[in-house]
Amino acid sequence: MNKSASIESGFQGGVRLRNPESPIQTDRPLISVITVVKNGVATLEQALNSVLGQTYAPLEYIVYDGGSRDGTLDLLRRYDDRITYWCSQADAGLYDAMNRAVDGARGDWLLFLGADDLLRPGFSAAAAQCREANTLYYGDVYLPHRGRFYDGRFSAAKLARQNICQQAIFYPRAVFAQYRFDTRYSILADWALNMRCHHDARFRFHYVPEVIAEFNDRTGVSSLRKDDQFLRDYLALLRANFSPLIFWWRRMVRTAGWPLRAAGLLR
């Protein structure tokens, strides 16, 4: 079924379809929260309510479904008068769906929330700080399985070693005027995007000490699978986006650092 047939058959909905030109009367930026989902009925309602319960305004909520068959569409129809826009159509994977959702979002900043994750009250506090149009604002997430918070302020060296949790980042719209998620990567395309934004002098990262979301670190996709293509490209991504010193350090760690890591002396 093609996209137009899906739309004609009622596989889309939300407030925007009834009020497509509804103006937003505010001097604060519009924040778009985006969830992509497939067969996520077991957890999606909690995620929905964590978004709808936020105090920040203006806020829009966009849900892109990849053709669920488990009751997800029934849930979306039940929340039709509270979700800004939702649709259901086939996609080519997680990041293809996110790229499509970017096109449907109207926010000045965009945040991606998994269907099995939850926004925390810190989201609204952090959203209120989004002011500079070329700045990626980010905070922390809570990892309930490990019982800890992740992961504070990121330096360049830290970003080369580990990623900022995607559920904690407010991306300015300007990022997606330049880049999209690289669909060659199955679960770490957001890390590749963050590396590119770090390298791009037009953008900067700003840490906000708020807990933005609760991230599913037990059964979430990124907790259970590896991204083999990203791992193959990792050093090339470092070379392209970080200083020679950071590249060579991480290369040394990757190729010869296992004795030090085993001794707890190197990360």
Q: What is the pLDDT of residue 257?
A: 59
Q: What is the pLDDT of residue 220?
A: 57
For residue 110, tell me if it sits in a domain: yes
Contact 222, 163 (CB under 8 A): no
For residue 248, tell me if it sits in a domain: yes
Cα-based angle 96, 158, 161 (whole degrees, multiple of 5): 60
Q: What is the pLDDT of residue 22?
A: 64
For residue 198, tell me if it sits in a domain: yes
- Taken as a whole, the chain contains a residue count of 267
For residue 151, tell me if it sits in a domain: yes
Q: What is the pLDDT of residue 19?
A: 84
Rounded CA-CA distance 147/264 in Å is 21
Q: What is the pLDDT of residue 1?
A: 38
Each residue's pLDDT expressed in tens, for the chain with a length of 267 residues: 344 444 444 599 999 998 877 656 678 999 999 999 999 999 999 999 999 999 999 999 999 999 999 999 999 999 999 999 999 999 999 999 999 999 999 999 999 999 999 999 999 999 999 999 999 999 999 999 999 999 999 999 999 999 999 999 999 999 999 999 999 999 999 999 999 999 999 999 999 999 999 999 987 565 557 899 999 999 999 999 999 999 999 998 887 655 545 445 455
Q: What is the pLDDT of residue 264?
A: 52
Query: Residue 167 phi/psi, 5° resolution?
Result: -70, 0
CATH code of the domain containing 151 = 3.90.550.10
3-state percent helix, strand, coil for the chain, nearest multiple of 5:
40, 20, 40
Sign of CA pseudo-dihedral 121, 213, 146, 267: negative
How far is residue 118 CA from its own chain's centroid? Answer: 12
Q: What is the pLDDT of residue 5?
A: 42
For residue 267, tell me if it sits in a domain: no
Question: What range defines the domain where residue 46 resides?
Answer: 3-262
Report how many domains make up the chain. Answer: 1
Contact 56, 122 (CB under 8 A): no
Rounded CA-CA distance 49/83 in Å is 10
- 57 token code pair: 């305004």
